[in-house]
Protein backbone atom coordinates (compact mmCIF):
# COMPACT_ATOMS: atom_id res chain seq x y z
CA UNK A 1 0.00 0.00 0.00
CA UNK A 2 0.83 3.65 -0.13
CA UNK A 3 0.82 4.99 3.42
CA UNK A 4 -0.04 8.52 4.45
CA UNK A 5 1.48 9.68 7.73
CA UNK A 6 0.24 12.86 9.46
CA UNK A 7 2.34 15.97 9.05
CA UNK A 8 1.71 16.86 12.68
CA UNK A 9 0.23 15.19 15.79
CA UNK A 10 -3.52 15.08 16.20
CA UNK A 11 -6.68 13.32 15.11
CA UNK A 12 -7.11 12.47 11.46
CA UNK A 13 -10.00 14.93 11.44
CA UNK A 14 -7.64 17.73 12.46
CA UNK A 15 -4.48 16.94 10.47
CA UNK A 16 -4.28 19.21 7.38
CA UNK A 17 -1.54 17.39 5.46
CA UNK A 18 0.13 14.00 5.19
CA UNK A 19 3.49 12.65 4.06
CA UNK A 20 3.47 9.82 1.54
CA UNK A 21 5.39 6.64 2.30
CA UNK A 22 5.19 2.97 1.44
CA UNK A 23 3.72 0.30 3.70
CA UNK A 24 2.46 -3.24 3.77
CA UNK A 25 3.60 -6.07 6.01
CA UNK A 26 4.99 -8.39 3.35
CA UNK A 27 6.71 -5.67 1.33
CA UNK A 28 8.22 -4.26 4.55
CA UNK A 29 9.79 -7.65 5.28
CA UNK A 30 10.99 -8.00 1.69
CA UNK A 31 12.61 -4.55 1.73
CA UNK A 32 14.38 -5.14 5.04
CA UNK A 33 15.70 -8.53 3.91
CA UNK A 34 16.93 -7.13 0.61
CA UNK A 35 18.71 -4.28 2.38
CA UNK A 36 20.54 -6.80 4.56
CA UNK A 37 21.91 -8.64 1.55
CA UNK A 38 19.37 -11.39 0.84
CA UNK A 39 17.93 -11.99 -2.67
CA UNK A 40 14.27 -11.16 -2.18
CA UNK A 41 11.19 -11.25 -4.40
CA UNK A 42 7.84 -9.53 -3.75
CA UNK A 43 4.73 -11.01 -5.38
CA UNK A 44 1.56 -8.90 -5.31
CA UNK A 45 -0.76 -6.76 -7.44
CA UNK A 46 -0.95 -2.97 -7.76
CA UNK A 47 -2.90 -0.62 -9.99
CA UNK A 48 -1.62 1.03 -13.14
CA UNK A 49 -1.96 4.36 -11.32
CA UNK A 50 0.76 6.66 -10.04
CA UNK A 51 0.64 5.10 -6.59
CA UNK A 52 1.42 1.73 -8.14
CA UNK A 53 4.34 3.29 -10.02
CA UNK A 54 5.62 4.78 -6.77
CA UNK A 55 5.37 1.49 -4.85
CA UNK A 56 7.19 -0.52 -7.48
CA UNK A 57 9.97 2.06 -7.80
CA UNK A 58 10.44 2.45 -4.04
CA UNK A 59 10.44 -1.29 -3.32
CA UNK A 60 12.76 -2.03 -6.25
CA UNK A 61 15.06 0.71 -4.97
CA UNK A 62 15.49 -1.36 -1.79
CA UNK A 63 16.86 -4.19 -3.94
CA UNK A 64 13.68 -6.29 -4.13
CA UNK A 65 12.79 -8.16 -7.34
CA UNK A 66 9.37 -6.81 -8.37
CA UNK A 67 9.16 -8.45 -11.78
CA UNK A 68 6.35 -10.76 -10.58
CA UNK A 69 4.12 -7.93 -9.36
CA UNK A 70 1.05 -7.70 -11.57
CA UNK A 71 -0.50 -4.41 -12.73
CA UNK A 72 -4.31 -4.16 -12.71
CA UNK A 73 -5.77 -1.55 -15.08
CA UNK A 74 -9.24 -1.82 -13.52
CA UNK A 75 -8.49 -1.57 -9.81
CA UNK A 76 -6.55 1.05 -7.80
CA UNK A 77 -3.52 0.61 -5.59
CA UNK A 78 -4.51 0.31 -1.93
CA UNK A 79 -3.84 3.20 0.44
CA UNK A 80 -4.22 3.90 4.13
CA UNK A 81 -3.96 6.78 6.56
CA UNK A 82 -2.82 6.57 10.15
CA UNK A 83 -1.84 8.63 13.15
CA UNK A 84 1.18 7.95 15.33
CA UNK A 85 1.02 5.51 18.23
CA UNK A 86 0.18 1.88 18.86
CA UNK A 87 -2.65 0.44 16.78
CA UNK A 88 -5.75 -0.97 18.47
CA UNK A 89 -5.81 -4.72 19.05
CA UNK A 90 -9.41 -5.13 20.17
CA UNK A 91 -8.59 -6.13 23.76
CA UNK A 92 -11.22 -4.96 26.25
CA UNK A 93 -10.03 -2.08 28.40
CA UNK A 94 -7.42 -0.97 25.87
CA UNK A 95 -6.16 2.59 26.20
CA UNK A 96 -8.39 5.05 24.31
CA UNK A 97 -5.46 6.95 22.76
CA UNK A 98 -4.49 4.22 20.30
CA UNK A 99 -3.62 5.19 16.74
CA UNK A 100 -6.37 5.89 14.22
CA UNK A 101 -5.97 3.72 11.13
CA UNK A 102 -8.16 4.06 8.04
CA UNK A 103 -7.80 1.48 5.27
CA UNK A 104 -8.92 2.05 1.68
CA UNK A 105 -8.30 -1.44 0.31
CA UNK A 106 -11.73 -2.77 -0.65
CA UNK A 107 -11.70 -3.27 -4.42
CA UNK A 108 -7.96 -2.65 -4.64
CA UNK A 109 -5.69 -4.45 -7.08
CA UNK A 110 -4.21 -6.53 -4.25
CA UNK A 111 -7.66 -7.61 -3.06
CA UNK A 112 -8.19 -9.32 -6.45
CA UNK A 113 -5.34 -11.78 -5.93
CA UNK A 114 -6.48 -15.34 -6.56
CA UNK A 115 -4.69 -18.70 -6.70
CA UNK A 116 -4.91 -18.94 -10.48
CA UNK A 117 -3.26 -15.53 -10.97
CA UNK A 118 -0.06 -16.35 -9.11
CA UNK A 119 3.17 -17.64 -10.63
CA UNK A 120 3.50 -20.99 -8.86
CA UNK A 121 7.14 -21.48 -9.85
CA UNK A 122 8.12 -18.05 -8.51
CA UNK A 123 6.48 -18.93 -5.19
CA UNK A 124 7.97 -22.41 -4.81
CA UNK A 125 11.53 -21.58 -5.85
CA UNK A 126 12.31 -19.57 -2.70
CA UNK A 127 13.97 -20.89 0.45
CA UNK A 128 11.36 -19.08 2.56
CA UNK A 129 7.85 -17.99 1.57
CA UNK A 130 6.65 -15.26 3.94
CA UNK A 131 2.91 -14.58 4.32
CA UNK A 132 0.75 -12.57 6.71
CA UNK A 133 -2.81 -12.66 7.98
CA UNK A 134 -3.44 -9.20 6.56
CA UNK A 135 -3.72 -10.61 3.03
CA UNK A 136 -6.29 -13.16 4.20
CA UNK A 137 -8.57 -10.35 5.40
CA UNK A 138 -8.71 -8.49 2.08
CA UNK A 139 -11.17 -10.70 0.17
CA UNK A 140 -12.41 -14.26 -0.26
CA UNK A 141 -10.03 -14.80 -3.17
CA UNK A 142 -7.09 -13.56 -1.08
CA UNK A 143 -8.08 -15.98 1.64
CA UNK A 144 -8.09 -18.75 -0.97
CA UNK A 145 -4.50 -17.75 -1.84
CA UNK A 146 -3.40 -18.03 1.79
CA UNK A 147 -5.17 -21.36 2.23
CA UNK A 148 -3.50 -22.78 -0.86
CA UNK A 149 -0.04 -21.57 0.19
CA UNK A 150 -0.33 -22.88 3.77
CA UNK A 151 -1.53 -26.29 2.64
CA UNK A 152 1.17 -28.82 3.49
CA UNK A 153 2.39 -30.12 0.14
CA UNK A 154 5.64 -31.90 -0.82
CA UNK A 155 8.48 -29.71 -1.99
CA UNK A 156 7.13 -26.40 -0.74
CA UNK A 157 9.57 -23.85 0.73
CA UNK A 158 9.65 -23.11 4.43
CA UNK A 159 6.39 -21.22 4.98
CA UNK A 160 6.65 -18.29 7.38
CA UNK A 161 3.39 -16.75 8.62
CA UNK A 162 2.97 -13.56 10.65
CA UNK A 163 -0.50 -13.55 12.19
CA UNK A 164 -0.80 -9.73 11.99
CA UNK A 165 -4.33 -9.62 13.41
CA UNK A 166 -5.97 -6.40 12.17
CA UNK A 167 -9.48 -6.38 13.59
CA UNK A 168 -10.45 -3.38 11.44
CA UNK A 169 -9.71 -5.19 8.16
CA UNK A 170 -12.04 -8.15 8.61
CA UNK A 171 -15.47 -7.66 7.05
CA UNK A 172 -16.80 -10.16 9.57
CA UNK A 173 -14.80 -9.54 12.78
CA UNK A 174 -15.96 -12.87 14.18
CA UNK A 175 -14.38 -14.73 11.25
CA UNK A 176 -10.82 -13.47 11.61
CA UNK A 177 -9.55 -15.30 14.72
CA UNK A 178 -10.56 -18.78 13.56
CA UNK A 179 -9.23 -18.24 10.05
CA UNK A 180 -5.90 -16.99 11.34
CA UNK A 181 -5.53 -19.93 13.70
CA UNK A 182 -6.15 -22.38 10.84
CA UNK A 183 -3.64 -20.62 8.58
CA UNK A 184 -1.01 -20.55 11.33
CA UNK A 185 -1.42 -24.29 11.82
CA UNK A 186 -0.39 -24.84 8.20
CA UNK A 187 2.83 -22.84 8.46
CA UNK A 188 6.33 -24.00 9.42
CA UNK A 189 7.32 -20.78 11.23
CA UNK A 190 4.77 -18.52 12.93
CA UNK A 191 5.17 -15.03 14.40
CA UNK A 192 2.47 -13.70 16.72
CA UNK A 193 2.35 -10.92 19.28
CA UNK A 194 1.33 -11.82 22.80
CA UNK A 195 -1.28 -9.04 22.63
CA UNK A 196 -2.59 -10.39 19.30
CA UNK A 197 -2.99 -13.87 20.74
CA UNK A 198 -4.95 -12.44 23.65
CA UNK A 199 -7.19 -10.31 21.43
CA UNK A 200 -7.83 -12.96 18.76
CA UNK A 201 -7.81 -16.20 20.72
CA UNK A 202 -8.05 -15.24 24.41
CA UNK A 203 -4.71 -16.92 25.00
CA UNK A 204 -2.53 -15.55 27.78
CA UNK A 205 1.22 -16.06 27.71
CA UNK A 206 3.60 -17.82 25.32
CA UNK A 207 3.03 -21.32 26.71
CA UNK A 208 -0.71 -21.03 26.11
CA UNK A 209 -0.08 -19.92 22.53
CA UNK A 210 2.21 -22.89 21.93
CA UNK A 211 -0.37 -25.27 23.38
CA UNK A 212 -2.93 -23.94 20.88
CA UNK A 213 -0.41 -24.00 17.99
CA UNK A 214 1.60 -27.24 18.24
CA UNK A 215 1.80 -27.80 14.46
CA UNK A 216 4.44 -25.24 13.33
CA UNK A 217 8.02 -26.40 13.75
CA UNK A 218 8.88 -22.95 15.11
CA UNK A 219 6.64 -20.50 16.97
CA UNK A 220 7.88 -17.03 17.93
CA UNK A 221 5.78 -15.11 20.46
CA UNK A 222 6.64 -11.41 20.51
CA UNK A 223 6.22 -9.90 23.97
CA UNK A 224 6.54 -6.22 23.15
CA UNK A 225 9.16 -4.27 25.05
CA UNK A 226 9.87 -7.31 27.25
CA UNK A 227 11.33 -9.59 24.60
CA UNK A 228 10.36 -12.67 22.58
CA UNK A 229 10.11 -16.41 23.15
CA UNK A 230 10.80 -19.02 20.45
CA UNK A 231 9.62 -22.63 20.55
CA UNK A 232 11.38 -25.04 18.21
CA UNK A 233 10.22 -28.63 17.97
CA UNK A 234 12.87 -31.35 18.27
CA UNK A 235 12.77 -34.64 16.40
CA UNK A 236 11.28 -36.34 19.48
CA UNK A 237 8.32 -33.95 19.48
CA UNK A 238 9.43 -31.86 22.46
CA UNK A 239 10.36 -28.19 22.27
CA UNK A 240 13.49 -26.21 22.91
CA UNK A 241 12.36 -22.89 24.39
CA UNK A 242 14.50 -19.78 23.92
CA UNK A 243 13.83 -16.35 25.40
CA UNK A 244 15.69 -13.16 24.45
CA UNK A 245 15.00 -9.83 26.21
CA UNK A 246 14.30 -6.82 24.03
CA UNK A 247 16.47 -3.73 23.84
CA UNK A 248 15.89 -0.32 25.38
CA UNK A 249 14.86 1.95 22.52
CA UNK A 250 14.04 5.64 22.24
CA UNK A 251 10.91 5.12 20.16
CA UNK A 252 10.10 7.58 17.38
CA UNK A 253 7.07 5.62 16.09
CA UNK A 254 5.93 2.02 16.60
CA UNK A 255 4.94 1.52 12.96
CA UNK A 256 6.50 -1.46 11.21
CA UNK A 257 8.35 -2.89 14.21
CA UNK A 258 6.70 -6.31 13.96
CA UNK A 259 7.56 -6.62 10.28
CA UNK A 260 11.13 -5.56 11.01
CA UNK A 261 11.41 -8.14 13.78
CA UNK A 262 10.27 -10.84 11.37
CA UNK A 263 12.83 -9.68 8.80
CA UNK A 264 15.66 -9.78 11.34
CA UNK A 265 14.65 -13.24 12.52
CA UNK A 266 14.32 -14.54 8.95
CA UNK A 267 17.68 -13.05 7.98
CA UNK A 268 19.34 -14.91 10.83
CA UNK A 269 17.41 -18.05 9.89
CA UNK A 270 18.70 -17.86 6.32
CA UNK A 271 22.20 -17.60 7.78
CA UNK A 272 21.60 -20.67 10.00
CA UNK A 273 22.35 -18.74 13.18
CA UNK A 274 21.35 -20.23 16.57
CA UNK A 275 17.88 -19.60 18.01
CA UNK A 276 19.04 -16.99 20.52
CA UNK A 277 20.88 -15.02 17.82
CA UNK A 278 17.79 -15.12 15.60
CA UNK A 279 15.75 -13.46 18.34
CA UNK A 280 18.41 -10.84 18.97
CA UNK A 281 18.63 -10.01 15.27
CA UNK A 282 14.85 -9.63 15.31
CA UNK A 283 15.10 -7.16 18.18
CA UNK A 284 17.84 -5.20 16.43
CA UNK A 285 15.89 -4.90 13.19
CA UNK A 286 12.80 -3.85 15.16
CA UNK A 287 14.89 -1.15 16.84
CA UNK A 288 15.89 0.15 13.41
CA UNK A 289 12.19 0.57 12.59
CA UNK A 290 11.18 1.99 15.98
CA UNK A 291 13.66 4.84 15.68
CA UNK A 292 12.27 6.28 12.41
CA UNK A 293 8.84 7.84 11.67
CA UNK A 294 7.70 5.40 8.94
CA UNK A 295 7.61 1.65 8.36
CA UNK A 296 11.14 1.19 7.01
CA UNK A 297 14.23 1.95 9.05
CA UNK A 298 17.78 1.73 7.74
CA UNK A 299 19.06 -1.68 8.86
CA UNK A 300 22.43 -1.93 10.58
CA UNK A 301 25.17 -3.49 8.53
CA UNK A 302 25.45 -7.23 8.98
CA UNK A 303 28.78 -6.84 10.79
CA UNK A 304 27.34 -4.19 13.12
CA UNK A 305 24.30 -6.33 13.92
CA UNK A 306 26.46 -9.40 14.50
CA UNK A 307 28.65 -7.51 16.99
CA UNK A 308 25.64 -6.23 18.92
CA UNK A 309 23.92 -9.62 18.84
CA UNK A 310 27.05 -11.16 20.39
CA UNK A 311 27.05 -8.83 23.43
CA UNK A 312 27.01 -10.36 26.88
CA UNK A 313 23.63 -10.31 28.68
CA UNK A 314 24.91 -7.51 30.92
CA UNK A 315 26.03 -5.32 28.00
CA UNK A 316 22.87 -6.07 26.03
CA UNK A 317 20.82 -5.02 29.04
CA UNK A 318 22.58 -1.67 29.30
CA UNK A 319 22.40 -0.89 25.57
CA UNK A 320 20.03 1.90 24.57
CA UNK A 321 19.32 2.71 20.91
CA UNK A 322 18.06 6.01 19.55
CA UNK A 323 17.42 7.64 16.16
CA UNK A 324 20.34 7.22 13.78
CA UNK A 325 21.91 4.32 15.65
CA UNK A 326 22.25 2.12 12.57
CA UNK A 327 24.70 4.56 10.99
CA UNK A 328 26.73 5.14 14.16
CA UNK A 329 28.95 2.06 14.09
CA UNK A 330 32.56 3.17 13.76
CA UNK A 331 35.36 1.28 12.10
CA UNK A 332 37.20 0.22 15.24
CA UNK A 333 34.50 -2.20 16.34
CA UNK A 334 33.18 -0.17 19.27
CA UNK A 335 29.59 -0.61 17.98
CA UNK A 336 29.02 3.11 18.43
CA UNK A 337 28.98 2.88 22.21
CA UNK A 338 30.70 6.27 22.47
CA UNK A 339 28.03 8.05 20.46
CA UNK A 340 24.92 9.76 21.71
CA UNK A 341 22.61 7.56 19.65
CA UNK A 342 23.93 4.13 20.64
CA UNK A 343 24.49 4.26 24.34
CA UNK A 344 25.65 1.65 26.83
CA UNK A 345 24.29 2.71 30.18
CA UNK A 346 26.08 1.90 33.39
CA UNK A 347 24.40 1.52 36.76
Q: List 77's β-bridge partners, or say none.
A: none
Please state the length of the chain. Answer: 347
- Contact yes or no for 48/75 (Cβ under 8 A): no
- Contact yes or no for 106/137 (Cβ under 8 A): no
User: Which ranges in the chain belong to alpha helices (H)?
Assistant: 25-35, 50-61, 120-124, 133-136, 140-149, 176-185, 194-201, 206-212, 257-270, 275-290, 302-309, 313-318
65 is annotated as an active-site residue = no
CA distances from 172 to 86, 138, 178, 225 (A): 23, 11, 11, 31
- Contact yes or no for 112/141 (Cβ under 8 A): yes
Question: Which of the 8 DSSP states describes residue 103?
Answer: E
Give 224-236 as a DSSP string: TTSEEEEEEE-TT
Within 10 A of 220 (CB to CB), how many other CB atoms are there? 27
Q: How far apart are alpha carbons 201 and 334 in whole angstroms?
A: 44
Task: Report the b/e string of 225-257 with b at 16+ CB within 10 A.
Answer: eebbbbbbbeeeeebeebebbbbbbeebbbbbb
Q: How far apart are alpha carbons 23 and 2 in whole angstroms?
A: 6
Strands, sheet with 18-22, edge to edge from the N-terminal-most edge strand? 18-22, 2-6, 79-82, 101-104
* Catalytic residue (one of 72, 162, 259, 328): 259
**Residues with catalytic annotation?**
259
Amino acid sequence: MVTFLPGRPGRLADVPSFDRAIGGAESNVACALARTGHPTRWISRVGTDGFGDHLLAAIADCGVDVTHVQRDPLRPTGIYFRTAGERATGIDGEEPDRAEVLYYRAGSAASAMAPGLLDTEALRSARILHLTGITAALSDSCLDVLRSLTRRTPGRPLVSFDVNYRVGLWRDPAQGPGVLLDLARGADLVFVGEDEAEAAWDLHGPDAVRAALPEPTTLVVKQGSQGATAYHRRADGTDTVTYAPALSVDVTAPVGAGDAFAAGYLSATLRDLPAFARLRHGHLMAAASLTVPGDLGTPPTRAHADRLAALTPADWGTLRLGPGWTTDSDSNGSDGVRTARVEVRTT
